[in-house]
């Protein structure tokens, strides 16, 4: 089908507004014969009745929510053409004229009413009420009055519920058709009928039975003219008028306008060189619409103005037969005003411009993945219906669209590609042209599926669609029909008109003018239509970089909420691609536009918009609020700006770790403003529900990052390094459960502030992470070898592990190594500590010398315990005692401690040689060393047991059961030999100093009973020793001898008594 160019006269100041829409497509399916065709059409409520040339009535019904009429029944009247149907409103019947006979049927199902028929009728019509009959004078009506035109009479009939009654016959011959006028009389019914006979128009006064001749409607050479009498209400005069057609000659016709009395009411409309409207004439104020037939065009649709009496638009339908107008044929059929030439070459170029837009144009082609569910931005197409746009000045269109059109003065071609008509079973041959007919019915409303589709809203994320609550409809009462198809001619919807202008503005780069025109009018629209147009305004202003206007309209509020979702701005106008930004509803028609328009995105504008609407205007829109928050953080490049936003507008949104907050955290982690995460984490940690391990660990990591960062950042966040360390240690103490994370953060803090970290470790040495603490000590021991606090702390953790293991030897190895390492370290074994230790050792030898008469002598280890808190080398003495106890424990449990003693024996001055006595290689040498050390008690213990005694005071072993007492491996002879060696030392000391005699007395009293016999003991003592010094010992010996003698006597007495008792017992038993 050929497309044509529209060129409207700018002086008209109006907008194209009519389109074709295929109404019935399956009529031919109900035809029995090839030559059957449509003859008449009538509508009643949601029903459409189609009469055929073979006497059928096809009953179509428009069901609620159905897109089109559906054939529900067929009725055969006669085997004659159905020429007319009228609706009788009072009796709810249809009167159908076929083959000269009019038959009644009930509405809407067309059940025959067997109350009579009207025969020999050329035409039938309903007798009109008088428009001026008063309510008081108008009696209740239960019947319908009709007029039947017969060859010789005009018959007035009354149709009641159960009969047809003849009221009056008026003689009038050759009547073809007529119309009952609504006269100015006060009676209920009109008494005037406007009639056409075979050549003239007449007015018949039914009451007075008189004729008022008017004029001829055809000249003598053109007698095959079908006269038309069309009543209409003149909206400019508020009176009923009648159009009467006149054929001047074969090429020219005209129309006259009269009132019910026959007076001319307005000028004539003349159709020169257009032939006669043989296809019918209807009136759609302010237009006369006719289908004309001439030698040039068999079917030409012409619109003429009732106000200017000029032809305003016309098109030939011969090249697009209605039978060829299928649902595939949606090109715009456009008319041009008289006197303007049609430029086909320009048309083709315009057509190409519209359908092939290069990258420089403001529109791009639709994406392939949208082809199935969106409509291309082709202004000439209506995706859901078969329609053709007629460019006709329409003064009935709202002033809104008129104003917009006036603002756009550039001439723009609105055409689409030629589309080959789809073949159908009713398609005409190329050489045959159907005669079309036009008629008018009561207004038909069909869903404007294309507009409803545009006004439906789609969630970009879920793809769910929300249909408009109120469907927009195409409304029209003019039908054009061919042999087997019916089209509705309807006025283009105002929104569709504005969309056409919008696309014209896009193509011609006149969006600024379009926006100005629409701004003053769009508020007159309500509901979804208003919101739809608001989107158009915003798109235009944004494309024109009129950001002030764009912001003004984006922030419009309805019902306390923004009309335009902020997500629209984020998704289409921002460069950021955020998750969830497509979770909003948008009109499908706007989506199609946005997908085709190339926006010059502006983050600066989006930022100003977000600042305008957040948080007050989106507080009830959680989805938008979350996306806007995310976009703020995406756009921030200044830490102070982000910090102020968080403190002033956003911290209340961090009460949980939801998906949005997680997304924001991920975004911030890769940005230069990532330190803002510190305050975010801190806020989350203040809420128990958000206190999750991931956040705790991230918080600690951020604190560490800040500790190693610029001090300026800390000032911006109002935090100090000491506070950050406290925050980390606080999380370690309370919240971190993962051992690896705990260890990692504690080690990092140790590197930054070892002093405070050691304090923490010391304070929490018994925490559940004490093993971790111990491991940390191991890991950093090499870097803190000269730090006594760290070394002592590490020892504490090693001790804790060892004690927890119940003093297992395996656990003591690491501890003894650390103890010895620290003991001999330069820090502990400093010159000052060395001197203090040597003084303590010298003091022990003095206080424990043989000159002192007090026995038993204090052991060295006990002496150290007693002086532990008195000596300035306290740490050294403490470590010394611990080494002794742990080595003793290991030795007593059979472990080889030689390796540990090697380091102790190499100390300058041999300060710690005493500890090496725990593993004697030669008994005599150890005894001599102990005697030389003045640890006489230990020497005596060693002589008997072969080992040093354990201290009576212990730092580790509060329960002595953990110390195994080793049984002596010496024979009695060896013991006596060892003790005799000690006695010899005492005797030598006594010979050197007679004051040392007390040691000999101690020896005799201690070992002269249990180890040595009195004889052996006395033989060991010097011959010249005064007996007085042995008096105590000798008394003891004598007492012991007496005791032994008494014991012998008692034993003998008991033996005798036992023997007598036994004899007596045997004797008693024998009886």
- Residue 443, classified by CB atoms within 10 Å of its CB into exposed (0-12), middle (13-18) or buried (19+), is exposed
Per-position DSSP letters for 521-533, written without gaps between them: TGGGS-HHHHHHH
Report the run of H or E that residue 473 belongs to, with start and end.
Answer: strand 473-481
Measured distance between the N- and C-terminal CA atoms of the chain, rounded to whole angstroms: 155
Q: 3-state SS string over 33-48?
A: CCCCCEEEEEEECCEE
Per-position DSSP letters for 961-1004, written without gaps between them: GGSPPPPP---HHHHHHHHHHHHHHHHHHHHH-GGGHHHHHHHH
Quote the CA–CA distance of 437 and 818 in Å, as a whole number: 114
Cα 345 to chain centroid distance, Å, stands at: 52
- Higher-confidence position of 156 and 753: 156
Q: What is the pLDDT of residues 76-123, one digit of tens each?
A: 988 899 999 999 999 999 999 999 999 999 999 999 998 989 999 999
Instruction: Give pLDDT, residue 907.
Output: 84
Quote the CA–CA distance of 715 and 713 in Å, as a whole number: 5
The answer, yes or no, to whether residue 422 has pLDDT greater than 80, is no
Report the run of H or E that residue 628 belongs to, with start and end.
Answer: helix 622-635
Instruction: Give pLDDT, residue 104.
Output: 95
The answer, yes or no, to whether residue 154 has pLDDT greater than 80, is yes
Mean pLDDT of 871-875: 88
User: Which residues have CB under 8 Å from 521's CB, separation 6+?
Assistant: 399, 400, 401, 403, 404
Cα 133 to chain centroid distance, Å, stands at: 67
Question: Could you tell me if 257 and 270 are in contact, meaning their C-beta atoms sit under 8 angstroms apart?
Answer: no
Instruction: Give pLDDT, residue 145.
Output: 92
Q: What is the pLDDT of residues 997-1006, one digit of tens each?
A: 788 888 888 8
Which residue pairs from 105-109 have beta carbons closer than 8 angstroms and sit at least 24 positions apart in sequence?
105/75, 107/44, 107/47, 108/44, 108/45, 108/47, 108/59, 108/61, 109/59, 109/73
Instruction: Give pLDDT, residue 419.
Output: 23
The answer, yes or no, to whether residue 320 has pLDDT greater than 60, is no
Q: What pairs with residue 19 in β-bridges?
A: 389, 490
- Residue 376, classified by CB atoms within 10 Å of its CB into exposed (0-12), middle (13-18) or buried (19+), is middle
Question: Could you tell me if 500 and 397 are in contact, meaning their C-beta atoms sit under 8 angstroms apart?
Answer: no
Quote the CA–CA distance of 334 and 15 in Å, as a whole number: 12
Angle at 547 between CA 542 and CA 550, to 5 degrees: 65
Tokens linked to 98: 């076929």
Q: What is the pLDDT of residues 885-917, one digit of tens each?
A: 999 888 888 888 888 888 888 888 788 889 888
Instruction: Give pLDDT, residue 192.
Output: 87
The answer, yes or no, to whether residue 50 has pLDDT greater than 90, is yes
The single residue listed with the structure tokens 């005409």 is 428
Question: Could you tell me if 586 and 457 are in contact, meaning their C-beta atoms sit under 8 angstroms apart?
Answer: yes
Range with the poorest average pLDDT among 146-160, 304-318, 323-337, 406-420 = 406-420
> Please, which pLDDT band fits residue 991 given cuts at 50, 70 and 90?
low
Boundaries of every domain in the chain:
525-635, 637-752, 831-969
Report the run of H or E that residue 157 belongs to, with start and end.
Answer: strand 153-159
Quote the CA–CA distance of 649 and 633 in Å, as a whole number: 12
Sign of the alpha-carbon torsion through 746, 752, 754, 757: negative
Q: Which of 806, 791, 734, 743 is nearest to 771 (CA)?
A: 743
The single residue listed with the structure tokens 């050197």 is 992
Percentage of the chain lying above the pLDDT 90 cut: 36
Instruction: Give pLDDT, residue 1048.
Output: 67
Tokens linked to 674: 């990532």
Mean pLDDT of 171-197: 78
SS3 of residue 703 by DSSP:
helix
Cα 1005 to chain centroid distance, Å, stands at: 97
> Please, which pLDDT band fits residue 970 given cuts at 50, 70 and 90?
confident
Instruction: Give pLDDT, residue 221.
Output: 62
Q: Which of 283, 509, 504 is nearest to 396 (CA)?
A: 283
Mean pLDDT of 651-659: 88
Q: What is the pLDDT of residues 137-147, one digit of tens each?
A: 455 567 899 99
Please count the other Cβ atoms lying within 10 Å of the Cβ belonging to residue 271: 25
Tokens linked to 416: 């689409």
> Please, which pLDDT band fits residue 180 given cuts at 50, 70 and 90?
confident
**Starting from the edge strand earliest in sequence, which strands make up the sheet with 311-316, in order?**
276-284, 287-293, 300-305, 311-316
């Amino acid at each position: 089908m050929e497309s044509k160019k529209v060129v409207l006269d700018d002086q008209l100041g109006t907008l194209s507004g009519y389109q074709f829409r295929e109404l019935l497509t399956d009529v031919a399916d109900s035809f029995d014969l090839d030559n059957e065709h449509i003859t008449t059409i009538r509508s009643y409520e949601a029903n459409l009745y189609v009469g055929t040339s073979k006497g059928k009535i096809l009953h179509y019904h428009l069901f609620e929510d159905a897109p089109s009429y559906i054939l529900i029944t067929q009725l055969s009247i006669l085997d004659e053409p159905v020429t007319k149907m009228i609706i009788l409103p009072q009796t709810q019947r249809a009167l159908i004229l076929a083959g000269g006979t009019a038959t009644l049927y009930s509405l809407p199902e067309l059940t025959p009413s067997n109350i009579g028929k009207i025969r020999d009728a050329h035409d039938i019509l309903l007798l009109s009420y008088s428009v001026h009959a008063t309510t008081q004078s108008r009696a209740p009506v239960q019947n319908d009055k009709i007029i039947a035109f017969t060859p010789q009479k005009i018959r007035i009939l009354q149709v009641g519920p159960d009969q047809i009654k003849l009221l009056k016959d008026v003689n009038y011959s050759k009547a073809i058709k007529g119309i009952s006028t609504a006269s100015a009389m006060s009676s209920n019914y009109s008494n005037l009928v406007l009639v056409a006979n075979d050549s003239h128009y007449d007015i018949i006064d039914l009451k007075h039975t008189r004729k008022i001749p008017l004029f001829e409607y055809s000249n003598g050479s053109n007698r095959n003219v079908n006269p038309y009498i069309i009543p209409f209400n003149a909206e400019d005069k508020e009176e009923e008028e009648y159009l009467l057609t006149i054929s001047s000659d074969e090429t020219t016709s005209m129309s006259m306008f009269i009132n019910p009395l026959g007076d001319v009411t307005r000028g004539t409309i003349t159709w020169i060189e257009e032939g006669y409207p043989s296809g019918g004439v209807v009136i759609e104020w302010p237009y006369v619409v006719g289908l004309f037939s001439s030698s040039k065009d068999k079917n030409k649709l012409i619109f003429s103005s009732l106000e200017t009496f000029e032809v305003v638009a016309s098109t030939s339908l011969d090249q697009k037969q209605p039978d060829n107008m299928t649902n595939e044929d949606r090109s715009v059929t456009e008319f041009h005003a008289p006197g303007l030439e049609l430029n086909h070459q320009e048309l083709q170029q315009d057509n190409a411009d519209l359908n092939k837009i290069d990258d420089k144009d403001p529109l791009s082609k639709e994406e392939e993945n949208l082809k199935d569910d969106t409509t291309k931005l082709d202004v000439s197409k209506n995706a859901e219906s078969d329609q053709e746009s007629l460019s006709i000045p329409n003064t009935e269109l709202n002033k809104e669209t008129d104003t917009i059109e006036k603002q756009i003065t550039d001439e723009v071609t609105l055409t689409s590609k030629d589309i080959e008509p789809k073949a159908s079973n009713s398609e005409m041959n190329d050489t045959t042209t159907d005669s079309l007919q036009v008629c008018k019915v009561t207004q038909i409303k069909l869903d404007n599926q294309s507009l409803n589709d545009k006004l439906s809203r789609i969630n970009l994320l879920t793809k769910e669609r929300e249909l408009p609550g109120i469907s927009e409809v195409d409304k029209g009462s003019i039908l054009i029909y061919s042999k087997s198809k019916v089209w509705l001619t309807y006025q283009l919807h105002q929104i569709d008109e504005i969309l056409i202008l919008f696309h014209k503005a896009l193509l011609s780069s006149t969006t600024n003018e379009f926006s100005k025109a629409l701004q003053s009018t769009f508020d007159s629209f309500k509901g979804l239509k208003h919101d739809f147009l608001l989107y158009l305004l915003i798109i235009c202003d944004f494309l024109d970089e009129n950001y002030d206007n764009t912001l003004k309209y984006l922030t419009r509020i309805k019902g306390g909420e923004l009309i335009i979702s902020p997500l629209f701005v984020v998704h289409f106008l921002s460069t950021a691609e955020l998750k969830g930004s497509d979770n909003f509803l948008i009109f499908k028609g706007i989506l199609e536009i946005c997908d085709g328009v190339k926006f010059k995105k502006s983050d600066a504008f989006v930022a100003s918009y977000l600042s305008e609407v957040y948080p007050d205007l989106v507080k009830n829109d959680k989805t938008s609020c979350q996306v806007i928050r995310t976009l703020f953080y995406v756009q921030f490049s200044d830490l102070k700006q982000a910090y102020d936003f968080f403190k002033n507008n956003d911290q209340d949104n961090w009460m949980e770790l939801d998906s949005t907050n997680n997304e924001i955290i991920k975004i911030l982690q890769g940005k230069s403003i990532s330190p803002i995460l510190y305050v975010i984490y801190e806020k989350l940690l203040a809420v128990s529900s958000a206190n999750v391990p991931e956040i705790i660990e991230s918080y600690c990591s951020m604190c560490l990052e800040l500790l190693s960062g610029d001090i300026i950042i800390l000032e911006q966040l109002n935090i100090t390094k000491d506070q950050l360390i406290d925050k980390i240690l606080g999380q370690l103490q309370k919240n971190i459960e993962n051992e690896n994370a705990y260890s990692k953060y504690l080690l990092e803090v140790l590197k930054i502030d070892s002093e405070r970290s050691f304090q923490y470790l010391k304070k929490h040495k018994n925490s559940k992470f004490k093993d971790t603490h111990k491991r940390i000590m191991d890991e950093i021991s090499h870097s803190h070898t000269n730090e006594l606090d760290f070394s002592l702390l590490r020892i504490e953790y090693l001790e804790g592990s060892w004690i927890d293991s119940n003093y297992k030897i395996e656990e003591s190895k690491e501890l003894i190594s650390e103890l010895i390492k620290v003991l001999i370290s330069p820090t502990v074994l400093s010159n000052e500590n060395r001197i203090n230790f040597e003084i303590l050792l010298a003091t022990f030898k003095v206080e424990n010398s043989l000159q002192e008469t007090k026995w038993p002598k204090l052991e060295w280890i006990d002496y150290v315990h007693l002086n532990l808190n008195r000596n300035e080398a306290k740490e050294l003495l403490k470590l010394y005692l611990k080494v002794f106890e742990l080595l003793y424990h290991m030795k007593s449990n059979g472990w080889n401690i030689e390796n540990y003693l090697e380091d102790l024996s190499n100390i300058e001055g041999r300060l710690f040689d005493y500890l090496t006595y725990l593993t004697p290689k030669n008994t005599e040498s150890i005894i001599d060393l102990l005697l030389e050390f003045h640890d006489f008690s230990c020497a005596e213990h060693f002589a008997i047991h072969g080992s040093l005694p354990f201290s009576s005071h212990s730092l580790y072993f509060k329960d002595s059961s953990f110390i195994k007492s080793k049984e002596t491996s010496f024979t009695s002879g060896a013991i006596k030999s060892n003790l005799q060696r000690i006695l010899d030392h005492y005797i030598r000391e006594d010979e050197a100093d007679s004051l040392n005699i007390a040691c000999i007395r101690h020896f005799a009293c201690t070992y002269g009973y249990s180890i040595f016999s009195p004889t052996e003991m006395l033989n060991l003592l010097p011959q010249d020793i005064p007996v007085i010094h042995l008096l105590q010992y000798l008394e003891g010996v004598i007492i012991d001898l007496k005791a032994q003698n008494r014991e012998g006597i008692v034993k003998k007495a008991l033996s005798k008594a036992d023997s007598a008792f036994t004899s007596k017992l045997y004797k008693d038993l024998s009886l």
